[in-house]
Structure 1
Amino acid sequence: MGAVKGKRMPRAVRERQMMDAAVRTFGQRGYRAASMDEIAELAGVSKPLVYLYLNSKEELFSACIRREARALVEAVRAGVEPGLPADGQLWAGLRAFFTHTAENPDGWAVLHRQARSHGEPFISEVVAMRDEIVAFVTGLIGAAAREAHRDPALVDRDVAGLAQALVGAAESLAGWANDTPGVSAKEAAATLMNFAWAGLENLMHARPWQPPEA
């Protein structure tokens, strides 16, 4: 205990240590199995100190979800370079997404598996993150489609369903890639790009697939 007190770390550094330990523990052990004792030990602090910074296990888990969600959204946004062709922007966004989830498997497990399986208030945090990514992808696809159609009136709603499908596929594929040895972020991104781009490109050039007439 004396060694812990003697460190005198700044609050922000101490909080980051605790959050890193919590994300690792929640991601690998699950929310219910994880204990505050285990998190405190991994962070190198006392359990009372964890409770001093974050009042409960539920509050700590919510803070982990918010941090990991914010980091993922920022990574995707930062990965897309304005001015690239539509396929280049989508490719860059997918590479950023899969690179981040591969480099932060515990954070992705917290977002994709743990938070979704324990109901409120946790799932609301994940839904907010997902909505932001879907809106971003909708904007990317919509802007490219308007440019291809040369129709500034083409609304984002026309491609919102595609964005939902693309994000959903990316989420599932990220979980599979992280659980499958040897699958790189680039390979995962290329898999989804090959799956999605042919349809998106046809849509952007007014060649959508149509169901056969009855």
Structure 2
Amino acid sequence: MLLFRPPGVYRPQGDTRLLAETLRTARVGARVLDVGTGTGVLALAAARGGAAQVIAVDSCARAVFTARVNALLRRLPVRVVHSDLFEAVAGEVFDVIVANPPYVCSDGLSSAGRSAHVWDGGLDGRAVLDRLCAAAPPLLAPGGMLLLLQSALCGIQTTVERLRSQRLRVAVVARRQEPFGPVMRARAAQLERCGLIGPEQRYEDLVVIRAERW
């Protein structure tokens, strides 16, 4: 899919494709929320998949503009809102929440730059993941589900346990080995020192975690 994407907006790549494939095989539901929408590609996929209402949120004003343009160009009914995670949709409920948050482990020093926000997940990669695990479950309708993508380097079991603690049924439903891109290659030595990857390892396992409200 050709997308309008200005500098500073996350470029859809392997992680986006894995989550989009999982979304296509899931029941889309009537109301879908795409958190951290970037270009809007996942929101567009949900709209094309038959969702009655799609809302996309992003904390980056440039991403909000980008997603709006991409929805307009395709004449798809996606509402794009500037929001820090769920702030703008507090109190609403959704059948599906989909999220591909920043999850790259940073070194705390070299994250400066206009585009750092699209990948920087904090020292352990969980800065946004933990906020999602805490805030997403109350927004799920009965029978609703969260589809959350992350790297195995950020602790899959930690995410599973935090979602289960909110009385959700949780499973890893998709997994793919992805070669390091430029950002991860630049941090490979740091990841080796932390014991997160082996010597010369230049790939990571990406997973999609599904959490369903009973």
More strand by percentage: 2
Which of the pair has more CA radius of gyration?
Answer: 1
Please give the TM-score of this superposition, normalised by the length of structure 2.
0.23
Q: Normalized per residue, which structure has more helix? A: 1
State the TM-score, normalized to the length of structure 1: 0.23
